[in-house]
A and B are shown apart, each in its own frame.
Chain A
Amino acid sequence: MDMPVQRSFSHDGTPAVAGHADAPKVMARDVNVFYGEKHALKDVTVDIADKGVMAFIGPSGCGKSTFLRCINRMNDTIPSCRVVGRITIDGSDIYDRALDVVQLRARVGMVFQKPNPFPKSVFENVAYGPRIHGIARTKEELAEIVNVSLRRAGLFEEVKDRLHDPGTGLSGGQQQRLCIARAIAVEPEIILMDEPCSALDPIATARIEELIDELKADYTIVIVTHNMQQAARVSQRTAFFHLGSLVEEAPTEVIFNNPKDRRTQDYITGRFG
């Protein structure tokens, strides 16, 4: 716990290949996921580039959320779930036995569909991650981390007078930004967002989209969304999932203007889904 979390990843001692401009941050090769007998994800192979936003779109039940949850191994909490294949972050396999899943989740933050702040104060919500990972050594450091995180999430000005009021008392959009602040407080490299705006009104949605736009300079962001305009607005690359398979992955404007696959075109133009 003494070492800064984000550096302690490469378990075999070889320096990770992060930083190389062309090397993808996340590489998935032939990932299959089974929920019991159900084959939920079939042979997904995709690269996610460092820094920037990647959007996953597709009809409900197509496996995009399942794949997202593979990247920080959130699927481990489901007893019947089985993951086959290889996913690497900076070149090291995240399903390796020697890898500590808790460390992985500190590197790969997650924002959920429904805002889920802890039933504690705003400050405690953000401070929880740094505290359990021992990132801050003193109270002042911790307060600094909380302030910076809230500022980066664009929430500081709104809550600076009520840091010690319950986080559950904020509005829905504020709660979701609080969750983003909580995620970035532990300095992750990747932030996974599972339909972060589906429970919010359009104005709150716009705020979150702005925020994503600001954060993409520093973080690799993967976002699952049902809103195709949103995907078009915030992402540089888009992947289309259908029936558990990755159909097509390309720069966003290519997907929306000139998709190769017939199914992609049908989905984008609203023929099904």
Chain B
Amino acid sequence: MTDTVIAPSAPARTKRWLDTSSRAAEARVRRRYRAERRFRAYGLIALALTTAFLVVLLADILSRGLPAFWSHSVVLEVPVKVEEIDSDNKRAELAQKAEQLRAARRSWIGRLFLGPNDADRAPDPLQPIRAGDYFGLARQALYDAFPGVEGRLERRKLQGLLSTGAGDPLREQVAADVGLIGQTVRARLRLSANADLYLKGDRTPIETRLGRGVATPSGTTGEIAVLTSANDFADYLVRIKVELSLRAEALRAEADRLERRAGAAEAERVKELRADAAVLQARVDQVRGEEALDDRMPSQLVAINGGLVKIEKLSDSSISGRVILPLASAAEAQPGAWQVVTYLTPEGNRRLGDVETAFLERLKAEGRVERGFNWLFFASGDSREPELAGIRGALVGTALTLLVTLLLCLPIGVLAAIYLEEFAPKNRLTDIIEININNLAAVPSIVFGLLGLAVFLNFFGLPRSAPLVGGLVLALLVLPTIIIASRAALKAVPPSIKEAALGVGASHQQAVFHHVLPLAMPGIMTGTIIGMAHALGETAPLLMIGMVAFIVDVPGSLTDAATVLPVQVYLWSDLPEPAFKSKTAAAIIVLLAFLFIMNGLAIYVRKKFERRW
């Protein structure tokens, strides 16, 4: 390349053009193109991988979390009995007072923002009505929907289908309209988390087969036997024997293994295993007679005459078992009019037992189960009951915390950046300050939490778990980011703009505030939003200042105890109830939505302020 022009004063040098035709040159060109193609391929692979991971992540979170935005309720006619709520003589007075209260409550703004604290302050004329046992009413309505289910155990299982908060909406409804007392109200009663999960698909597959013989039940409730004229249960018996022989086989294999490995030391245990296997084998080999079911086998039930019998023992043509749903009569059932129902997942592997499953299936068949949007998730604070736990507390806590952070960070950060970039003398002191700001941006966030604990809580005595303190700590964390981003944005403004302003006689400050700052604003906004997004996802420093507590109430002010979304995710992910897994994913979705909204806002603001030059 260097010798394409030859000076006349250097005749000794031969003329050399750039070599483009030799084999070496061609190879060089090919290598160059190959390198470029390789580089592009790497880029594409990286992009594809990230996209794939992102899609998998989002799909996973959405598939887990979206069901939590819906919930199931059972719709029942609930008689609001006077004796459960209040004595009759107080009602007129209460109705009048309720009217006044309703007027105050009509403003939805007050409802949204005043929060529960406000209601506490005012003496509530509806106190006696609120104190009523609404869960009792709901429970009684459910009992009434299953006439004939009267055993203590059955009723306890029936009650278990209802959420402990099932009566709360009823309470609100009655408190809002005392005229309902004494009437029958059609109410949606929230189901418990396990029942809800069952209805959302975490359930056993169910198989039904029509009976071929004429079935004769021996009774309508309690322990009954059902005889059939055909070999209706022979298949099931075979299935049980297969299962038993598999178990015997497994026991024998275990015994063999122990004998080989441990020898005499485990002789006792080997003997036991072999004995158990022999018992099972005997049951398999027995030709006729009854066989018992246990909870490690699929459950078998007989649906007959409008009732349901859980099979405990069966032979080829007869079963005996316990009635779950009472039969209408003990009359004979013709072939095809009765059926054998199988819950394929063994009862021991299910959260919802046979009895609860039967109740739920009955409610579903009667069309009493309704699916609706889970407003409670956005309207309530945390709870130990998964079906009652909501995100409202964390959302409000996050909003309050970020508000404090933004109000502190934006003015301080931007002004500091302007001073450092435009006005500060360039000397050793400002160099040290600059280095330290850059270092602060890299300090692990938990250190800021410790700082907040030591300074804001212990020294200044601010309240624990408060959004105010959370906001202060996050402001410390985000400030360096904002200062660095703002300085970069200020530096990126062409100096000619400032010179032009100075040239027409603007003072330094005028030049900066009239011309440089507006041009730097989009960059500053971007930096601020990145900082706020960073703060939004921060958990560790907030743990140090106590925002990790279990807080049920929605915070009403900056000094109320609160938690934030990421901490709520952390708290829920730690809980053992399976329903909280879905809540965790739902909280993540809400957190991401919050983030998207913030970023969308940032893009909008940036586009609005952006000016080209």
Chain A residues with CB under 8 Å of chain B are 5, 72, 74, 77, 79, 102-103, 105-106, 109-112, 114, 116-120, 128-129, 132-133, 166, 168, 179, 182-183, 185-186
Residues of B within 8 A of A132 (CB): 504-506, 510, 514
Q: How distant is the Cα of A119 from the Cα of B494 in the complex, in angstroms?
A: 11
Q: Which of B496, B502, B514, B515 contacts A77 (CB 8 A)?
A: B502
Q: How far is the CB of A46 from chain B (nearest CB, A)?
A: 22
Closest to A105 in B: B505
Q: How far is the CB of B497 from chain A (nearest CB, A)?
A: 6
Interface bin, chain B: 20 to 34
Q: A116-B500, A128-B501, A132-B505 are in contact. List 5 more A-B contacts (CB 8 A).
A: A103-B505, A105-B504, A112-B500, A116-B499, A119-B613
Q: How distant is the Cα of A110 from the Cα of B514 in the complex, in angstroms?
A: 19
Residue of B494, B502, B503, B514 ringed by the most chain A CB atoms within 10 A: B503
Q: How distant is the Cα of A114 from the Cα of B278 in the complex, in angstroms?
A: 101
Contact in complex: B515, A105 (CB < 8 Å): no
Contact in complex: A183, B503 (CB < 8 Å): yes
Q: How distant is the Cα of A191 from the Cα of B505 in the complex, in angstroms?
A: 13
In B484-528, which residues have CB < 8 Å from any A CB?
494, 496-507, 510, 514-515, 519
Could you list some 7 contacts between A and B, CB below 8 A? A77-B498, A116-B500, A119-B497, A129-B506, A132-B510, A133-B505, A179-B500
Contact in complex: A119, B500 (CB < 8 Å): no
Q: Which of B494, B505, B515, B519 contacts A106 (CB 8 A)?
A: B505
Q: How distant is the Cα of A183 from the Cα of B499 in the complex, in angstroms?
A: 12
Q: How distant is the Cα of A118 from the Cα of B493 in the complex, in angstroms?
A: 12
Contact in complex: A74, B611 (CB < 8 Å): no
Contact in complex: A110, B612 (CB < 8 Å): no
Q: How far is the CB of B238 from chain A (nearest CB, A)?
A: 86
Contact in complex: A118, B500 (CB < 8 Å): yes
Contact in complex: B505, A112 (CB < 8 Å): no
Q: Which of A110, A114, A133 contacts B503 (CB 8 A)?
A: A110
Contact in complex: B504, A109 (CB < 8 Å): yes
Closest to B494 in A: A116
Closest to B515 in A: A118
Residues of A within 8 A of B498 (CB): 77
Residues of A within 8 A of B499 (CB): 74, 77, 110, 112, 116
Chain B residues with CB under 8 Å of chain A are 425-426, 494, 496-507, 510, 514-515, 519, 611-613
Q: How distant is the Cα of A182 from the Cα of B515 in the complex, in angstroms?
A: 15
Residues of B within 8 A of A186 (CB): 504-505
Contact in complex: B504, A106 (CB < 8 Å): yes
Q: How distant is the Cα of A79 from the Cα of B424 in the complex, in angstroms?
A: 11
Q: Which of A77, A79, A166, A183 contacts B504 (CB 8 A)?
A: A183
Residue of A102, A114, A182 ringed by the most chain B CB atoms within 10 A: A102
Contact in complex: B505, A79 (CB < 8 Å): no
Contact in complex: A105, B519 (CB < 8 Å): no
Contact in complex: A74, B514 (CB < 8 Å): no
Residues of B within 8 A of A112 (CB): 496, 499-500, 503
Residues of A within 8 A of B494 (CB): 116
Residues of A within 8 A of B502 (CB): 74, 77, 105
Contact in complex: A102, B505 (CB < 8 Å): yes
Contact in complex: B505, A129 (CB < 8 Å): yes
Q: How distant is the Cα of A114 from the Cα of B514 in the complex, in angstroms?
A: 21
Residues of B within 8 A of A111 (CB): 503
Q: Which of B503, B504, B612 contacts A119 (CB 8 A)?
A: B612
Q: How distant is the Cα of A72 from the Cα of B514 in the complex, in angstroms?
A: 21
Q: How distant is the Cα of A129 from the Cα of B613 in the complex, in angstroms?
A: 19
Contact in complex: B505, A116 (CB < 8 Å): no
Contact in complex: A116, B504 (CB < 8 Å): no
Q: How far is the CB of B430 from chain A (nearest CB, A)?
A: 11
Q: How far is the CB of B282 from chain A (nearest CB, A)?
A: 95
8 interchain residue pairs of minimum CB distance: A106-B505, A129-B504, A116-B496, A119-B613, A110-B503, A105-B505, A116-B500, A119-B611
Residues of B within 8 A of A183 (CB): 503-504
Contact in complex: B612, A118 (CB < 8 Å): no
Q: How far is the CB of B15 from chain A (nearest CB, A)?
A: 29
Residues of A within 8 A of B501 (CB): 118, 128
Q: How distant is the Cα of A92 from the Cα of B104 in the complex, in angstroms?
A: 76
Q: How far is the CB of A80 from chain B (nearest CB, A)?
A: 9
Q: A114-B496, A116-B497 are in contact. Are A168 and B503 (CB under 8 A)?
A: no
Residues of A within 8 A of B426 (CB): 79
Q: A116-B500, A118-B497 are in contact. Are A168 and B505 (CB under 8 A)?
A: no
Q: How distant is the Cα of A116 from the Cα of B496 in the complex, in angstroms?
A: 6
Q: How distant is the Cα of A215 from the Cα of B205 in the complex, in angstroms?
A: 95
Closest to B506 in A: A132
Q: How distant is the Cα of A183 from the Cα of B500 in the complex, in angstroms?
A: 9
Q: How distant is the Cα of A120 from the Cα of B613 in the complex, in angstroms?
A: 9
Q: How far is the CB of A101 from chain B (nearest CB, A)?
A: 8
Residues of A within 8 A of B507 (CB): 102
Q: How far is the CB of A224 from chain B (nearest CB, A)?
A: 14
Q: How far is the CB of B611 from chain A (nearest CB, A)?
A: 5
Residues of A within 8 A of B500 (CB): 112, 116-118, 179, 182
Q: How distant is the Cα of A195 from the Cα of B426 in the complex, in angstroms?
A: 30
Q: How distant is the Cα of A92 from the Cα of B510 in the complex, in angstroms?
A: 26
Closest to B507 in A: A102
Contact in complex: B613, A109 (CB < 8 Å): no
Contact in complex: A168, B612 (CB < 8 Å): yes
Contact in complex: B613, A105 (CB < 8 Å): no
Contact in complex: B519, A72 (CB < 8 Å): no
